[in-house]
Amino acid sequence: MPIFKPKKGPVFKWSRLLHFMLAALITAYGGHLWGYEGSVFAGIGSILMGFSWELYNKFKGRGSHPYGDALDFWSFVLGAVTAGIGWLILGG
């Protein structure tokens, strides 16, 4: 039984933007508070949080899409990576 299944509908959704922005905010704030180490640990934490959220949807989720969605997960990853690189260029 698969853990990840694609959601129906367009690739670009407001919810994926929200996933992206949440991971970017966590990563950038970690960098703001604790510098290089903070941005790395907060970035890893936000990616793990996103992965955990998608697993939660599979095993405990109810509603219209009780599976993890790979695009949602990769939105978390892109948000963390974008903010991490931005931190290195602008704030580091």
Q: Where are the domains of the chain?
A: 24-91
Phi, psi of 68 (to 5 degrees): -75, 150
Q: What is the pLDDT of residue 92?
A: 64
Which residues are CB-contacts of 92 (< 8 A; sequence separation ≥ 6)? 31, 35, 36, 39
Tens-digit pLDDT string for the chain (92 aa): 778 888 888 888 898 999 999 999 999 999 999 998 999 999 999 999 999 998 888 888 776 667 788 999 999 999 999 999 998 888 76
Q: What is the pLDDT of residue 64?
A: 65
The CA distance from 77 to 51, in Å, is: 9
